[in-house]
Amino acid sequence: MPTLAAMFSPRSFASLTALAGALVISFTGCKKEGSNANADEIVIGEVAAMTGGTATFGTSSHAGTQMAIDEINAAGGLLGKKLKLITEDDQSKQGEAGTVAKKLISREKIVALLGEVASGRSLEMAPICQKAGIPMISPASTNPKVTETGDFIFRVCFIDPFQGTVMAKFAMSRGWKKVAILTDTKQDYSVGLAQFFKEYFAKNGGTITGEQSYGSGDKDFKAQLTAIKAGAPDAIFASGYYNETGLIAAQARELGITAPLLGGDGWDSPSLVEVAGKAIEGSFFSNHFSNEDQSPKIQEFVKKFQAKHGKTPDAMAALGYDSAMILADAMKRAGTTEGKALRDAIAATKDFDGITGKITLDEKRNANKSAVVLTIKDGKFSFVESLAP
């Protein structure tokens, strides 16, 4: 028991003040948290990979999403309220996406969730949103399993059976009959895409000369590529993300493999060319949109994006923008942000005029759209052809 004098000693006084301070802070903290749910703001959550192995996906899609939210707010907001976007970074880590999605739902009281680009991470968030009754719109997860989770889960992009088929058709049209496959087994996206490519390609008379795999974060692919080279393929289907693909391209050329690489929308990042340099020239990948498209809507978007961020938007930015716009459109039609009504309004999206095409959500909550095939020429992604569903 301290004496009275001791209680007023400078040291105890300091700790008392600190305690009082902490109490004040925690009270204001509570107040602020409560206000999120019912203020004159609609809180929308976003989970994006702002750092880590697929960081350009997150930064791009976030830039697009934020741009859409800012535009809606500048035009007076929605339902008499302003939109507020709270973004959480999942560090490109499996396991982290689910955690931050839970945090957004329970702490920030979001009415809807936008995100993830990577399918593996969307698959973590989907059951959480489904259970909580919070509609989730993924901008760019193409693995079919994502929306199969439940009726609260949507996407504004095409799915891998289509994307894989597009690339298989493209390979056939170029007369490439022998293709080797290189998959990132740590990514649901990569595994799914490769599987759909293989199914279509093998069924239509193509030969798979070899199948190799690696894990995200690997740097050395010489072993797999040497094995692939032995099969002398006309092309290599590398279904992983841009970071590893850059290194794969560089090492393939070092080993004297001249066959072009083929891939999906996971290649869409400036990092691909930075890492691979000349090695990736003349390879092809499927994507959601091309910023070379001369339609006025796309060019206006490109101009606005450039003015704001000083660089041309990639497909992830366009999809991020579209996902936020579709959510806003549904809120307007529903007249409320209540989960079930909002879900039904999103599901009823029809012929929405997005940046990445006319978007209609089908009964499986997927967007039906055409894909574009791009090639890498002089370090830039240039348009080759467009393939309808």
Partner 1 sequence: MSQFIQQLLNGLFLGSIYALIALGYTMVYGVLRFINFAHGDVFMLGAFTGLYLNKLMGPILAALPWPVAILIVLVLSMAICAALGILIEWLAYRPLRDKPRLNVLITAIGVSLLIEYTGQLVFGATQQPFPAIIPKVNVGGLGGLTVTMTQVIVSVTAVALMIGLRFIVMKTKMGMAMRALSLNPTASSLMGVNNSVVISFTFGLGSALAAAGGILYASLYPSIEPFMGILPGLKAFVAAVLGGIGNIPGAALGGLIIGVTETLVAGYSDVLGIPSGYRDGVAFVILILILLFKPSGLLGKVEREKV
Residues that bind partner 1 (CB under 8 A): 50-53, 55-56, 91, 184-186, 210-215, 217-220, 222-224, 226-227, 229-230, 243, 246-247, 250, 254-256, 271, 274-275, 277
Question: What is the smallest separation between the CB atom of 214 and partner 1, expressed in angstroms?
Answer: 6
In whole angstroms, what is the distance from residue 142 CA to residue 162 CA?
A: 9
Closest CA to 67 of 37, 87, 38: 87
Q: Looking at beta carbons only, is 127 or 231 nearer to partner 1?
A: 231
Q: Looking at beta carbons only, is 38 or 258 nearer to partner 1?
A: 258
Question: What is the smallest separation between the CB atom of 372 and partner 1, expressed in angstroms?
Answer: 25
Q: Looking at beta carbons only, is 94 or 370 nearer to partner 1?
A: 94
Question: What is the smallest separation between the CB atom of 94 and partner 1, expressed in angstroms?
Answer: 14
> Which residues share a beta bridge with 374?
285, 383
Token pair listed for 9? 């000693």
Question: What is the smallest separation between the CB atom of 130 and partner 1, expressed in angstroms?
Answer: 30
Q: Looking at beta carbons only, is 53 or 161 nearer to partner 1?
A: 53
Q: Looking at beta carbons only, is 36 or 51 nearer to partner 1?
A: 51
Contact 42, 84 (CB under 8 A): yes
Contact 285, 193 (CB under 8 A): no
Q: Looking at beta carbons only, is 254 or 385 nearer to partner 1?
A: 254
- Per DSSP, helices labelled H in 109-263 are 119-132, 145-148, 160-173, 188-203, 222-230, 242-254
DSSP code string of 2-55: --HHHHTSHHHHHHHHHHHHHHHHHHHHHHHHHHHHHSSEEEEEEEE--SSTTH
In whole angstroms, what is the distance from residue 14 CA to residue 264 CA?
A: 61
Q: Looking at beta carbons only, is 183 or 349 nearer to partner 1?
A: 183
In whole angstroms, what is the distance from residue 192 CA to residue 198 CA?
A: 10
Question: What is the smallest separation between the CB atom of 46 and partner 1, expressed in angstroms?
Answer: 18
Question: What is the smallest separation between the CB atom of 179 and partner 1, expressed in angstroms?
Answer: 16
Question: What is the smallest separation between the CB atom of 276 and partner 1, expressed in angstroms?
Answer: 9
In whole angstroms, what is the distance from residue 123 CA to residue 259 CA?
A: 34
Largest CA distance in the chain: 93
Q: How far is CA 156 from the centre of its chain?
A: 10
End-to-end CA, the chain: 79
Strand, coil or helix: 382: strand
Q: Looking at beta carbons only, is 274 or 338 nearer to partner 1?
A: 274
Question: What is the smallest separation between the CB atom of 14 and partner 1, expressed in angstroms?
Answer: 28
Write the DSSP symbol of residue 182: E
Closest CA to 353 of 295, 309, 303: 295
In whole angstroms, what is the distance from residue 91 CA to residue 49 CA?
A: 5
Q: Looking at beta carbons only, is 87 or 149 nearer to partner 1?
A: 87
Contact 110, 33 (CB under 8 A): no
Question: What is the smallest separation between the CB atom of 71 and partner 1, expressed in angstroms?
Answer: 27
Contact 89, 51 (CB under 8 A): yes
Question: What is the smallest separation between the CB atom of 291 and partner 1, expressed in angstroms?
Answer: 21
Q: Looking at beta carbons only, is 50 or 302 nearer to partner 1?
A: 50
The angle, 0 to 180 degrees and rounded to 10, between the axes of the packed helices 160-173 and 188-203 is: 50
